[in-house]
C-alpha cells in the first residue's frame, strides 16, 4: 500500500491495447485534469489510426504532446522531456492536474526517474583535437571526463567514443538545471495474457477496416519516404511493405499481429524494469473497473493533488 502523499502528477501506463487512454481520460475528468501523451509516435501529424490516437475518447479533456511534429522530424527523448516539463508546469499553472498517459517506456522512464538530459552541440575544435588521438588515448580521456561511465560500448567504437567525450566534457562545464519535484503517482493496467492478445487482434482488425492502409498511402503520397515509414515500425513498416507488394493481405495481418503481440511483451518487460529501478506502479485489473479501482485507491490512501 502506498503512503499518503500529495501528488503533482498522475501517470497511467500499460501495454498496447490495455485501455490506457480511457483510464487516463476518466481520471482527468474525475479529478479536474488534462492528459499529456507519452507516446513516441503520436507526436507526429497524420499518423492517427496506426498510432491509436483515439481522439473520440477525449471529449472535452485537453490532450497535449499529440500532433506537434511532422513525420520525418527526429523527435528525441530529450525533446520529449523538455516539452513535457513545459506542459506539466502550464497545466498546474491553470490549477489543473497533469495526467501522463502512454506506453513508450523510455519517455515514461525519462520523466519518472528524472533523466538529466542536456542538449550537447557538436564541438568542431574538440573533434579536430580528438582526431589525432589513438583509441587508447580516447578511452583514457573519456574515463577522466566521466569516471562513473557505465556504458562500456562507448569504448568500442571511435565515433561513439568521440561523441561520449564531447558530451561528458560539455556537461562538466554546463551542468543540467535541477528538475522540478513531480511527486508522481503511477497506475498500470494489467490483463490476463490471452485476453490482451485477443484485444490486440480485434483492435488491429478494426484499424485495418477503418482506413489504416489508406492512412499510410496518404503519408507516402504526401512525401514521407518508405524508409521513414519503415523507421516508425509496426503498423507503418508492415503496411508499407504491403503497399510495395512485398506482402499479401493475409501475411500483412498475420505478421503485423504477431509483431504487436511481441511489442506488448517488450513493454511489460520495460515496466518491470522500471519497478526494479524504484518506480512504484499500482497495478489495476483491466478486466474489472480500473477507473473505479484507481479512484478508490486514491480515496483509501488519502492521496491528494499537491499544489
Residue 118: predicted pLDDT: 73
Q: What is the pTM of this model?
A: 0.85
Topology classification of domain 7-116+179-305: Rossmann fold (3.40.50)
Residue 151: predicted pLDDT: 58
CB atoms within 10 A of CB 30: 13
Q: Pairing mode, if any, of strands 97-102 and 184-190?
A: unpaired
On whether 178 is known to bind a ligand per the annotation, the reply is no
- Residue partners of 297: CB distance under 8 A and separation at least 6: 2, 282, 303
Q: Nearest Cα to 29, choosing from 210, 291, 297?
A: 291
On whether 76 is known to bind a ligand per the annotation, the reply is no
On whether 14 is known to bind a ligand per the annotation, the reply is yes
On whether 21 is known to bind a ligand per the annotation, the reply is yes
Report the SS3 class of residue 103. coil
37 burial (CB, 10 Å; 0-12 / 13-18 / 19+) is buried
On whether 52 is known to bind a ligand per the annotation, the reply is no
Report the SS3 class of residue 52. coil
94 burial (CB, 10 Å; 0-12 / 13-18 / 19+) is exposed
On whether 233 is known to bind a ligand per the annotation, the reply is no
On whether 194 is known to bind a ligand per the annotation, the reply is no
Report the SS3 class of residue 113. coil
Residue 95: predicted pLDDT: 95
Q: How far apart are CA 259 and CA 286, in angstroms?
A: 22
Q: How far apart are CA 191 and CA 289, in angstroms?
A: 12
Per-domain boundaries in the chain = 7-116+179-305, 124-173
For the chain of 307 residues, list the mean pLDDT of each consecutive stretch of 10. 67 97 97 97 97 93 97 91 96 96 96 84 94 92 82 72 90 82 96 98 97 98 96 96 98 98 97 96 97 92 72
Report phi then psi at 295, rounded to 5: -65, -35
Could you give the C-alpha distances from 106 to 55, 143, 262, 264, 274, in angstroms and in order?
23, 26, 17, 14, 10
Instruction: Return the C-alpha cell found at 235.
Output: 503498423
On whether 19 is known to bind a ligand per the annotation, the reply is yes
Per-position b or e across 117-145, b if 16+ CB within 10 A of its CB:
beeeeebeeeeeebeebeeeebbebbeeb
Amino acid at each position: 500500500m502506498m503512503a499518503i502523499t500529495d501528488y503533482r502528477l498522475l501517470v497511467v501506463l500499460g501495454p498496447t491495447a490495455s485501455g490506457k487512454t480511457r483510464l487516463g481520460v476518466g481520471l482527468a475528468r474525475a479529478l479536474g485534469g488534462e492528459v499529456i501523451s507519452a507516446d513516441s509516435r503520436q507526436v507526429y501529424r497524420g499518423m492517427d489510426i496506426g498510432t491509436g490516437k483515439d481522439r473520440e475518447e477525449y471529449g472535452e479533456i485537453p490532450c497535449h504532446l499529440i500532433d506537434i511534429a511532422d513525420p520525418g522530424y527526429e523527435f528525441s527523448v530529450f525533446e520529449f522531456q523538455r516539452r513535457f516539463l513545459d506542459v506539466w508546469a502550464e497545466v498546474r499553472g491553470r490549477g489543473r492536474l497533469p495526467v501522463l498517459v502512454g506506453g513508450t517506456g523510455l519517455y515514461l522512464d525519462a520523466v519518472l526517474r528524472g533523466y538529466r538530459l542536456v542538449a550537447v552541440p557538436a564541438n568542431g575544435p574538440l573533434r579536430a583535437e580528438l582526431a589525432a588521438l589513438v583509441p587508447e588515448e580516447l578511452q583514457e580521456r573519456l574515463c577522466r571526463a566521466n569516471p562513473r561511465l557505465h556504458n562500456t560500448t562507448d569504448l568500442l567504437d571511435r565515433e561513439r567514443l568521440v561523441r561520449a567525450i564531447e558530451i561528458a566534457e560539455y556537461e562538466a562545464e554546463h551542468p543540467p538545471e535541477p528538475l522540478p519535484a513531480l511527486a508522481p503517482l503511477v497506475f498500470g493496467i494489467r490483463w490476463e495474457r490471452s485476453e490482451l492478445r485477443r484485444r490486440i487482434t480485434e483492435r488491429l482488425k478494426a484499424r485495418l477496416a477503418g482506413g489504416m492502409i489508406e492512412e499510410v498511402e496518404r503519408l507516402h503520397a504526401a512525401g514521407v519516404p518508405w524508409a521513414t515509414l519503415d523507421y516508425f515500425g509496426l503498423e507503418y513498416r508492415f503496411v508499407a511493405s504491403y503497399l510495395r507488394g512485398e506482402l499479401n493481405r493475409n501475411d500483412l495481418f498475420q505478421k503485423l499481429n504477431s509483431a504487436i503481440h511481441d511489442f506488448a511483451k517488450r513493454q511489460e518487460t520495460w515496466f518491470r524494469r522500471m519497478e526494479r529501478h524504484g518506480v512504484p506502479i499500482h497495478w489495476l485489473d483491466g478486466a474489472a473497473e480500473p477507473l473505479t479501482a484507481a479512484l478508490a485507491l486514491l480515496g483509501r490512501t488519502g492521496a491528494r493533488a499537491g499544489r
